[in-house]
Amino acid sequence: MGKGYGTDGFYQRLANRLQESFFACGADFDMYTDSIFYNAAILLACYMEDIVADSGPWRMFSELCSQMYDHPVPMYHEQEEYYPDEPNRNAVIFLVWSVVSTITDDIVYADNEDIEQMAATAYPILDELFEEAPVNDELANDIVQLIGKAGNSFIEMRTAMLYLYNNCYLTRGKRNDELAARHIEEALDLPVKSINLNTATFFSLVFCIFKYRIGPLALFAKDYLGALLRVKGMDSLADELERIEILYSAFYRYEAIAPDRQRLTHTNGRQLTIETAELSMTDKMLREHNSFLASSLVYYQGEWHLNGMLSPTNLTNEGWKECCEKDPDYHAPGETTFTAEMMLKYNGGQRLAYFANLEELKDYLVKELKYSRENLGYLDEHGGSLPTLFIDTLEKKDCLHFFFEDSINIADPANPFYDPVKARTKAVNMLWDAEAVTTNAVKYLLEQGFLPDVYNDAVFSCHSTRKQTKADIDFLMRFWRRDDY
């Protein structure tokens, strides 16, 4: 929570003891060893403090895992008896695994011997000290007070989300810091005199908490906050959070419809109303900027709210028209949008197609899907072999997806390029390589049973059942793909 507590001494000593035990256990991660031991010790001490007080974050995480995967802990399922307010072997080894995976930024096997050594060392220490560990009631009360205030206003709700982004031991992390730092730098580069490091930091953080997936489950801060509210019995407020809508930075035309309200028109044509006071613009500023502004907005408790920086802009009517035409949802008069429904009608419902080379793919697009050959030059930029075409029915636009060199992994009877020998080691890479294959494509292949070799990969625990491995596949996709999930 960013403050000191009377129990801090005990948990600091626990972290030191854990770190010492790691150095003595024989685990070795080469250049990352010291950092892993240090961070794992802190994470497990925070976990211990949390479960002893039942302050909420671990129970929140455990409930989310149970809802999503029917298991309270991802990746590890050996210890069947589970209580979220007591030390648990599966929880301990998972937390160690998450530290190793994050710090090495590498694919780490669930049954990694060094991780098992660390967990086997740490769990008995936590179990031994559990009964005598001091209960940090103040921490538990602070969390309840903080999240409970989320119902008071948009500002208070955002403050609770900032806690999850910056301070909660399960959902904070170096990636959050890196994302915030990138946006701080971008804000400081803007030609706006009033922006200093403090305002840039604020604008960056309030943008990041809505924009990015965080924590091991790669959920949004609002999703974690909703789960935390539910484990604390605040269901109605959690329901309110589920109705949040976010409109990221975009241009709007504004028009006064009452002395205290403005109508905003998005470049995609959508209209919404907002209190004039939310825009933090004087009457003079509203008149001077030719009725146009750029901003990010959040809908909460029945009202739209400005989130972060608002940029009044002196667009001309012609400039506004150009912005509208560049909007992803814009349809020019006479323009034909190739939807998935149209594509499937053309090719007889075939969502996957496999090709030996780019020329075969281009011929298929022209003959079967009615594309113009002169518009297919962009495919030459890929330069890969064995292209695969996937028609994504979940995408309103850009429903055609192409990926290369992965048809060897796809055990589709209609695929002549499947190679079970190569797939045994290569197929698993499709789970985390979001730049190569979209999440929707991988999910479809899994649902159809076309990626059987993934289940046998050593990245998953040998102790897991097929059902558990299926859940862990989705978890790993979330963990590594993050915002591309």
Q: What's the pLDDT tens digit per position in 331-345?
A: 666 666 678 999 999
Report the distance separating Cα 264 and Cα 272, nearest Å: 5
Work out the pLDDT band at 282, boundaries 50, 70, 90. Answer: confident
Strands 213-214, 387-391: pairing kind: unpaired
Question: Which CATH code for domain 245-326?
Answer: 2.40.50
What pLDDT sits at residue 314?
Answer: 77
Tell me the per-residue pLDDT of 159-195, one tens digit each, with 9 for 90 and over: 999 999 999 999 999 999 999 999 999 888 877 777 8
Report the pLDDT averaged over residues 325-336.
Answer: 73
What pLDDT sits at residue 290?
Answer: 67
Give me the residue spans of the domains in the chain: 1-173+215-228, 245-326, 340-484
What pLDDT sits at residue 78?
Answer: 80
What pLDDT sits at residue 292?
Answer: 83
Cβ within 8 Å of residue 366, ≥6 positions away: 372, 373, 376
Structure tokens at 461: 């625990």
Q: What rounded mean pLDDT belongs to the chain?
A: 92
What pLDDT sits at residue 428?
Answer: 95
Report the distance separating Cα 443 and Cα 447, nearest Å: 6
Task: Tell whether the model's pLDDT for residue 313 goes beyond 90.
Answer: no
Report the pLDDT averaged over residues 43-47.
Answer: 98
Above pLDDT 70, what percent of the chain? 98
Nearest CA-CA partner of 281 in 301, 252, 302: 252
Q: E-strand spans in 34-99?
A: none
Q: Which residues pair with 264 in a beta bridge?
A: 254, 272
Tell me the per-residue pLDDT of 122-137, one tens digit each, with 9 for 90 and over: 999 999 999 999 999 9
* Alpha helical stretches, state H, 352-408: 358-367
Structure tokens at 290: 């030719």
Q: How many residues does the chain have?
A: 485
Structure tokens at 168: 């909660």
Helix (H) or strand (E) holding 272: strand 271-275
What pLDDT sits at residue 209?
Answer: 97
Task: Tell whether the model's pLDDT for residue 287 goes beyond 80.
Answer: no
Residue 358: CB atoms within 10 Å: 19
Nearest CA-CA partner of 353 in 387, 320, 323, 305: 387
What pLDDT sits at residue 332?
Answer: 67
Least confident of 20-34, 330-344, 409-423: 330-344
Above pLDDT 90, what percent of the chain? 77
Report the distance separating Cα 456 and Cα 460, nearest Å: 8
Q: How is residue 73 annotated by DSSP?
A: S
Report the distance separating Cα 65 and Cα 353, nearest Å: 35
Tell me the per-residue pLDDT of 390-409, one tens digit each, with 9 for 90 and over: 999 998 778 999 999 999 99
What pLDDT sits at residue 336?
Answer: 60
Report the distance separating Cα 471 and Cα 484, nearest Å: 18
Work out the pLDDT band at 419, boundaries 50, 70, 90. Answer: very high
What pLDDT sits at residue 249?
Answer: 86
Structure tokens at 187: 């804000």
Report the pLDDT averaged over residues 371-383.
Answer: 84
